Amino acid sequence: MFNAPVLVLNQNYEPLNVCDIRRAFNLLGADKAELLERNHQVIHTPRMAIPAPAVIRLVYLVKRPRPRVKLSRREIFARDRHTCQYCGSSSRDLTIDHVVPKHRGGRHEWENLVAACHACNHRKGSKTLAEARMSLLREPRAPRGSLPLRKLPGRRPERHVADLPVPG
Ligand SMILES: [Zn+2]
């Protein structure tokens, strides 16, 4: 019974992990989490019967590093909004340009790769920006991974943590 999984949400309602009921009661009892949803199960202690928590939410925000988006042609086009980063034309038929050319030590990384239309890529060739007298619309950067912020619609904490009895 105590092994039933409890979903733990971050303070901003992002799912964090799953814990067991014992751990959930510890968090609730220590005012570190609030109860969002009960389980259909009931836990019997010698003195009382307590509905088991199903979803709890931490009252503080756990900071997690955002996952890095994996480098790929597709992701570069998406980051650059399918727009040539030299002339600003948008096209479905784009190429990837190394801002600092590979043979000049340019690396295959977010900061050195941009979407470019065929004309601009050809014009730039294997030159640097200065040599080609071209400039970028925006400085290329690694995008931050975005986790969808899943709010549970219409759900409010049923009761405050303090109301919840903790089994001894
Ligand atoms: Zn272009």
Q: Per residue in 78-136, pLDDT tens?
A: 999 999 999 999 988 999 999 999 999 999 999 999 999 999 999 999 999 999 999 99
pLDDT value for 40:
79
Query: What are the backbone angles phi and psi of residue 18, rounded to the nearest 5°?
Result: -125, 135
pLDDT band at 156 (very low <50, low <70, confident <90, very high): very low
Q: Half-sphere exposure (CA, 13 Å, Cβ side) for 155?
A: 14
- CB-based burial of residue 58 (10 Å sphere; 0-12 exposed, 13-18 middle, 19+ buried)? middle
Domains (ranges, CATH) in the chain? 5-64 (no CATH), 73-132 (1.10.30.50)
- What is the reported pTM? 0.51
Q: How far apart are CA 164 and CA 141, in angstroms?
A: 48
Q: Per residue in 2-40, pLDDT tens?
A: 677 899 999 999 899 899 988 999 999 999 999 999 987
pLDDT value for 145:
62
Question: Cα of 120 to ligand 1 centre, how many Å?
Answer: 4
Question: Cα of 93 to ligand 1 centre, how many Å?
Answer: 11
Question: Cα of 146 to ligand 1 centre, how many Å?
Answer: 28
pLDDT surpassing 70 at residue 63: yes
